[in-house]
Amino acid sequence: MKRRQFLKSTVATGAGLIILPSGTLSGANSAGNKLNVALIGTWGRGEAHFDTIAKENVVALCDVDENHLAYGAKKFPKAKHYVDWRKCLDQKDLDAVICCTTDQTHGFIANWTLNRDLHCYMEKPLAHTVEETRIVRANYLSKKHKLATQVGTQRHAKPNFERVRELVKDGAIGELTDCYAWGNRQIRRKRYPPAQGTPPNTLHYDLWIGPAPFHPYNPEYFKGGPGMNCLSWNMYWDYGTGQVGDMGSHTIDLVWNAIDAGLPTTAEGEGEKFNPEVTPVELHTSFDIPANDWRGPVRVHWYQGGMMPRSPKGYVDLNKIGHGAMFKGTRGYVVCDYDSRIVLPFGDDADMTYYNKRSKDEVIPPLGHFQGEWVEACKGDLKTHCDFEYGGNAIEMMHLGLVAYRVGKKLNYDGASGRVTNSAEANALLSREYRSGWTIDG
C-alpha cells in the first residue's frame, strides 16, 4: 500500500479493522499517521500555518528568500531546504503541500502539486486568471477521489457564514434575487516601481518573478511586514489581481457559501479608468448566476475601493461595514459582515410568519479549525468546505469580472467551455503569457 493510501485507510477504518504494519499506530495524531508536508513560502502568511503543521512531519521548506527560509527552519529544523518550488515538489516523500507565495505563482504550484498526486492547501486566490483557475479545478476534479484541497479562505470557518446561509436558504427574506459583496481597502499605485538597487544576495529575485513578465528589482515589493507584504505587490497586474484576489476572495465567500452557485452566464464591470500596470481600486462587477434546485436565478455583485451597493434603509450605513455582504429577497434583506448579521424584512407581507426557523439540532454544524479540516481530510474522507471546485468557481467568476471591466462591455459566458461568446478581446484576456522556461503543466 502506498504511504498516502495507508494514512487514509488508518483514519477511515480505525484501529483493528485493518492489519497495521508493526510499529504504526492509527489515529490522527499518532506517530505513524502524520502527513509529510512541504511548506512553500515560509514567512509572512506561511507562519499562519506553523501551528497546524507542527503536529505533522514538515519535511520540506521552500522560499525564494534565504532569510525567510531560515526563519521557517528555526521552527522546522528537520526539513530539507529549497529556493525553487519546482525542485521542492520533486522531493519523493511528500504527501501534502501548503503554498503561501505570490498570487501569480498559485495556479502553477497548485497544478504541479496535483500532477504529483499530492494534497494541496493553496492560499487565496487559487489562481491568477480564468484559464489557470479552470486548469487547476479540472485537475482537481479528476483526482478528487484521492486528493484533498483547500483554498485559504479561512474566515469561512466563522459560524456567521453558516448562519447567513441558513437565513437565505430557509427563506427569511423570501425568494433570493440579488447578492452583493464589497470591500473598502484602497491601495493606490500609478505604475510598477522603477529599477532601484540590486536584490540582496539572499533573495532569488528571478525565482520570485517566476512565470510573470520581468520587472526590475525595487525594494518596494518587499517592504511589508509579515502577512502584509502581499500589499506591496498584489496591485500590479503581473503579480496579483488587487482587491479582487485579496479581500475579494474572502468576502465573496460570504455570498458563495449561501447560494450554491455554479459559473455565471454573464459578466459586467465598471470602475476607474483602466491602467495597464495597476489593477483598479474602484471597481464594480456583476454577474448572472443561473437558478438551482432551491432558488431562482440571481444577480451577484462585487464592489470595491469605495464603490458600494445602495443601502436598503437610510439608517443602515453600509459604509460602516468595511468588508461585508447583503442579500436581497422578495421579502427583505440580510446585511452581514464576517461575524454578524441583521435581517430587514420589508413590505406589507413581511411579518416573517412565512419563515420556518431551524430547530437547534438542524443548525449547520461548525466547521472547526480551517487548516485542521484540510489536514484531517488528507488522512480521511478528503472533504473540505473550500475545495478547488468550490473556491475555483468563485474566483473564476471574480477574474471574469476583471476581464469584463477591461473590455468595457457585457460579456456572455459559456462556463462549460470557458469561453466568452461575444468578445474575442475578452477571450484573449482569460489567460496570460508566461516567461520562457515556465509551464503550468509540469
Ligand X SMILES: NC(=O)c1ccc[n+]([C@@H]2O[C@H](COP(=O)([O-])OP(=O)(O)OC[C@H]3O[C@@H](n4cnc5c(N)ncnc54)[C@H](O)[C@@H]3O)[C@@H](O)[C@H]2O)c1
Q: Mark the segment that binds ligand X (CB under 6 A) among 58-66, 193-201, 266-274, 280-288.
A: 58-66
Q: Mark the segment that binds ligand X (CB under 6 A) among 50-58, 59-67, 276-284, 287-295.
A: 59-67
Site string for ligand X, 97-116 (x = CB under 6 A): ---xxxx-x-----------
Closer residue to ligand X, CB minimum distance, 103 or 132: 103
Question: Of the candidates 207, 235, 325, 334, which one interacts with ligand X according to CB under 6 A?
Answer: 207
Q: Is residue 303 within the footprint of ligand X (CB under 6 A)?
A: no
Q: Is residue 248 within the footprint of ligand X (CB under 6 A)?
A: no
- CA–CA gap between residue 112 and residue 191 (Å, rounded): 31
Q: Are 72 and 350 in contact (CB under 8 A)?
A: no
Work out how close the CB of 109 gets to ligand X at its nearest, in angstroms, rounded to a whole number.
Answer: 8
Site string for ligand X, 343-382 (x = CB under 6 A): ----------------------------------------
Q: Is residue 62 within the footprint of ligand X (CB under 6 A)?
A: yes
Closer residue to ligand X, CB minimum distance, 182 or 239: 239
Work out how close the CB of 38 gets to ligand X at its nearest, in angstroms, rounded to a whole number.
Answer: 11
Nearest CA-CA partner of 438 in 119, 107, 129, 133:
107
Question: Of the candidates 210, 269, 309, 329, which one interacts with ligand X according to CB under 6 A?
Answer: 210
Work out how close the CB of 378 gets to ligand X at its nearest, in angstroms, rounded to a whole number.
Answer: 19
Q: Is residue 182 within the footprint of ligand X (CB under 6 A)?
A: no
Q: Are 55 and 84 in contact (CB under 8 A)?
A: no
Work out how close the CB of 297 gets to ligand X at its nearest, in angstroms, rounded to a whole number.
Answer: 31
Closer residue to ligand X, CB minimum distance, 40 or 375: 40
Q: Is residue 65 within the footprint of ligand X (CB under 6 A)?
A: yes
Q: Is residue 275 within the footprint of ligand X (CB under 6 A)?
A: no
Site string for ligand X, 75-94 (x = CB under 6 A): ----------x---------
Q: Is residue 230 within the footprint of ligand X (CB under 6 A)?
A: yes
Question: Of the candidates 44, 183, 269, 305, which one interacts with ligand X according to CB under 6 A?
Answer: 44
- CA–CA gap between residue 118 and residue 127 (Å, rounded): 17
Q: Are 410 and 290 in contact (CB under 8 A)?
A: no
Question: Of the candidates 193, 213, 216, 227, which one interacts with ligand X according to CB under 6 A?
Answer: 227
Q: Which residues pair with 300 in a beta bridge?
A: 179, 287
Q: Is residue 400 within the footprint of ligand X (CB under 6 A)?
A: no
# of chain residues touching ligand X (CB under 6 A): 30
Q: Is residue 229 within the footprint of ligand X (CB under 6 A)?
A: yes
Q: Is residue 208 within the footprint of ligand X (CB under 6 A)?
A: yes
Question: Of the candidates 46, 199, 211, 280, which one interacts with ligand X according to CB under 6 A?
Answer: 46
Residues that bind ligand X (CB under 6 A): 40-46, 62-65, 68, 85, 100-103, 105, 123-124, 152, 154, 207-208, 210, 227-230, 246
